[in-house]
Structure 1
Amino acid sequence: MATRRMFSKEVMDSDIFIDMTTNAKLLYVYLNLNADDEGFISNPKAVARFTGLEVESIKELEKNGFIIPFDTGVIVVTHWYMHNQIRKDRAKKTMHLNELSKVELQNKKYTKK
């Protein structure tokens, strides 16, 4: 997993992002920091807890289209590829292949199939 992360101003400066609660915005940053090289996070509730943020902020991020949750508890950052470009020779494939098969990438944005 890469140790550096980038953030797109296009996403972070959008009105919908700015209008979210501070907790949801901060959780979004920490989720991005803890995602694998394809944007998947296996423990979003743990990330919220260890940062001292409310787990309920996950629902706010989902409602506003910044994450896609799966029944397994795994989530994916919707705008992952708008934020990050990891060289193919350095990127580690996600272990969440079942969840990956349920989304598709369109214009650098994950959407449900």
Structure 2
Amino acid sequence: MEGFNPCLDCGICCTHFRISFYWAEADDAPGGFVPVDMTEQLNHTLRCMKGSNQVPRRCSGLAGTVGEKVACTIYDNRPTPCREFPVYFDDGTPNPKCDELRATIGLPPLPHAPLPRAA
């Protein structure tokens, strides 16, 4: 399981949620990091990733084929909602929302993650 990253063969969350975040996360704000050209303004305080505000959804940062092989093209500069969405919880159990979304594209449930061993 070491090195296992279920997100690299899934990507369904990038086509399911509107990925909205505080406007100052975009790189046109001091200290911002999300490429502004990949966002759209929602209101005076929020932006979202292009492609995630309409149905069908597909985040503008997603590359590849969902359910087969995907990658985030701005992984190091992805917005807070993407950074904070847990695939696994602290106790190693999979996020049930991941399993629910994975099932919609025919992927199996996630295995439990092994907990790190104490030194």
Q: TM-score, normalised by structure 1?
A: 0.27
Instruction: Point out which structure has higher relative CO (alpha carbons under 8 A, 6+ apart).
Output: 1
Q: Which has the higher helix share?
A: 1
